[in-house]
Amino acid sequence: MSVPEILRVMNDEDAGVAAAVSVAIPDITRAVDLAVAALSSGGRLVYQGAGTSGRLGVLDAAECPPTFGTDPAQVVGLLAGGPDAMFRAVEGAEDSRELGAGDVHGIGLTSRDLVVGIAASGRTPYVIGGLDRAREIGAATVALSCSPNAEISAHADVAIEIDNGPEVLTGSTRLKAGTSQKLVLNMISTATMVRLGKVYGNLMVDVRPSNEKLVARAERIVRAATDCDLETARRALAAADGHAKTAIVAVLCDIDAQTARERLSAGAGFVRDAVRPRS
């Protein structure tokens, strides 16, 4: 096959991934409900997996603090073999239920937490061990796999099974399986943060402006939410210590940053509640 032919075959296979994910939206919804409940009660969203599956969980967890302003301890990724496995395969790590259970125990899991076990094959011992240990503790559990009637589904409160069909390279689950898992994790974390008030409209109002790009983004967010000019947005952000959500409430209500913070606290962090007229 020529290179364009190879790429066309891959692209054609990938085209069906989103449709396969859409079939699982009812189960993904249940997972989001569990995640919202966990984080609302002071618990954590914990992703656990091996290989590509585990790396995708770590990736989604790492993106939550800069995107949604979460504490790094609120969304956690556990990878079979530990941090070194992020960059190179750690042989045998995924084959141990004991290691999976130990990693969950090692982060001090409680009944307020949610564990999302991720395994493309649907039968990874490391993930099963983690899910079983989580259930013993009383934590909520979700199994995410790319295999119909997956073994791990029986070890969780909610089972998400994405049927992508065979990989273009037989058994290479970093391809369609990895793509579908990334889509599902995006959906779980994003929908959860929307439900927790981390988003206003389609704006990331809890973004942390930790570099020049994000500072400019925060300015655009404030302007988009309030229809103010750039100078007003910059002044509001400076007074709000860079927190876009606080700046938005301050501009919309014509109040100072401290009063805006108090309104947000009273509104559980939701901009729409903080800007409602006071009687």
Report the CATH superfamily, name and number, of domain 3-196. Glucose-6-phosphate isomerase like protein; domain 1 (3.40.50.10490)
**pTM (2 decimals)?**
0.93
H or E stretch including 187?
helix 176-195
34 vs 265: CA distance, rounded Å:
23
CATH number of this structure's domain 199-275: 1.10.8.1080
Residues taking part in catalysis: 63, 94
CA 142 to chain centre: 13
Residue pLDDT, tens place only, 22-39: 999 999 999 999 999 999
With a cut of 80, say whether residue 279 has pLDDT above it: no
Cα of first residue to Cα of last residue in the chain, in angstroms, is: 71
Q: How confident is the model at residue 214 (pLDDT cuts 50, 70, 90)?
A: very high
Ramachandran bin of 197, using left for φ above 0, alpha for ψ from -120 to 50, beta for the remaining angles:
left
Which residue, among 64, 74, 80, has the nearest Cα to 191 in the 3D structure? 64
pLDDT tier at 92, thresholds 50, 70, 90: confident
Contacts of 44 (CB under 8 A, 6+ apart): 38, 73, 74, 75, 76, 112, 113, 114
Burial (CB count within 10 angstroms: exposed 0-12, middle 13-18, buried 19+), residue 167: middle
Per-domain residue ranges of the chain? 3-196, 199-275
- The tens digit of pLDDT for each residue in 64-91 reads 999 999 999 999 999 999 999 999 888 7
Nearest to 109 by CA among 142, 76, 60, 64: 76
Question: For 145-199, what is each residue's pLDDT tens digit?
Answer: 999 999 999 999 999 999 999 999 998 999 999 999 999 999 999 999 999 999 9
The torsion defined by the Cα of 157, 162, 166 and 168, in degrees rounded to 10, comes to -120
Buried b (16+ CB within 10 A) or exposed e, 6-30: eeeeeeebeeebeebbeebeebbee
